[in-house]
Amino acid sequence: MSQSIAVIKGDGIGPEIMDATLRVLDALECDLNYEFIDAGLAALEKHGTLIPQESLDAIEKYSIALKGPLTTPIGKGFSSINVQLRRHFDLYANVRPAISFPGTRSRYEDIDMITVRENTEGAYLSDGQEMIDDGNTGISVIKVTRHGSERIVRYAFELAKKNGRKKVTAVHKANIIKTSSGLFLDVAREVAKEYPEIEFQEMIVDNACMQLVMNPHQFDVVVTTNLFGDILSDLCAGLVGGLGLAPGANIGEKAAIFEAVHGSAPDIAGQKIANPCALLLAAAQMLDHLGMNEKGDAIRHGIRAVLETRRDMVTPDMGGTGTTDTFAQALVEHIKQ
């Protein structure tokens, strides 16, 4: 039976890169049924809200969504759509692969790692922020729970296991923040014992930053709390040449949403020069999640091959002379070979 997924084309360059991505998924014969749903500016025009209830219902029904970048209008009292989705579906794991590709400006080659960031607690509590002392003192609460730590660390180990990865590194600051970060580390050690086949490493966050910059190849899967994960995942994107090729997934018990990390890039929308790679890699992550790892690999290998051999069909941001469509075309040709 074919699997249905909710598809949000998104704003700005979203529709262009989504069309390219769906073309590639079709060529791979993934047997996916696309249910197109509205969100972002398109939804605001049609339904008067950025994320209509029927779109939330569709994501809940199909439990998988592939999402183009969405614009949250600034200054009109709208709260970020991504935050709304994360809260609504309790998407506790933010999963960001960082993979080196040829022809990107970066310091390193052959990086292949994944950061797993806890996405619902830590230093990101909306009710943990307070100004006191006539606005002269700011208080931010960090809250870490056993439940939250356990599910994120277990997610990281299960991900490692499913993808044949060898090592999980838990990043913390338990030496200084003994309560919250200490609990996270304790739980990580406990969960690690359930996975004797996977190497477990613990690293203090400041050292992790230095190690990532000096010797990134030692890392495989990195798991950490919300704020450290925010910072480290962007650091890792920087190691492989920036956000242009960075996919991400937000995963919960009931739903998983796959997306490009970059925004809607309205400055180049409609010009057919948007690079579809990040969304394609998000689609590959989605295929892995659905148990179609070989097809996910086909996208990753295909992108590598196209970047190496078909500069004429690659988008200008990657130094090519092609368009969004020729990029997709080249990938489809590679897949059909």
Footprint on this chain of ligand ATP (rule: CB under 6 A): 13, 69, 71, 244, 262-268, 274-275, 278, 317
* Closest residue to Mg ion: CB criterion: 263
Q: Is 124 marked active-site?
A: yes
Q: Is 173 marked active-site?
A: yes
Name the one residue in this structure whose structure tokens are 């060898």: 166
Exactly one of 15, 128, 263, 316 binds Mg ion (CB under 5 A); that residue is 263
The CB-of-241 to ligand ATP minimum distance in angstroms stands at 13
Buried b (16+ CB within 10 A) or exposed e, 202-230: ebebeebbeebeeebeebbbbbbbbbbbb
From ligand ATP, Mg ion, none, which one binds at residue 71 (CB under 5 to 8 Å depending on kind)? ligand ATP
Instruction: Name which of 191 and 281 has its Cβ closer to ligand ATP.
Output: 281
Contact status, residue 324 vs residue 20, Cβ threshold 8 Å: yes
Q: Does 242 bind Mg ion (CB under 5 A)?
A: no
The CB-of-122 to ligand ATP minimum distance in angstroms stands at 23
Q: Is 167 marked active-site?
A: no
Residues in the chain: 337
Biggest CA pair distance of the chain? 68
CB atoms within 10 A of CB 13: 28
What residues have CB less than 8 Å from 91, skipping those under 6 apart?
Answer: 85, 119, 120, 250, 251, 252, 255, 256, 257
CA atoms within 13 A of residue 253's CA, in its CB half-sphere: 3
Among 211, 101, 96, 220, smallest CA distance to 157 is for 220
The CB-of-129 to ligand ATP minimum distance in angstroms stands at 23
**Range list of β-strands (E), 64-111:** 64-67, 93-99
From Mg ion, ligand ATP, none, which one binds at residue 319 (CB under 5 to 8 Å depending on kind)? none
CA atoms within 13 A of residue 221's CA, in its CB half-sphere: 26
Name the one residue in this structure whose structure tokens are 């196209």: 306
Instruction: Name which of 202 and 317 has its Cβ closer to ligand ATP.
Output: 317
Instruction: Name which of 35 and 317 has its Cβ closer to ligand ATP.
Output: 317
Instruction: Name which of 80 and 207 has its Cβ closer to ligand ATP.
Output: 80
Of 11, 67, 92, 124, the active-site residue reads: 124
Q: Is 46 marked active-site?
A: no
Instruction: Name which of 241 and 320 has its Cβ closer to Mg ion.
Output: 241
Q: What residues are annotated to the active site?
A: 124, 173, 206, 230
Task: Using CB under 5 A, list all residues that contact Mg ion.
Answer: 263
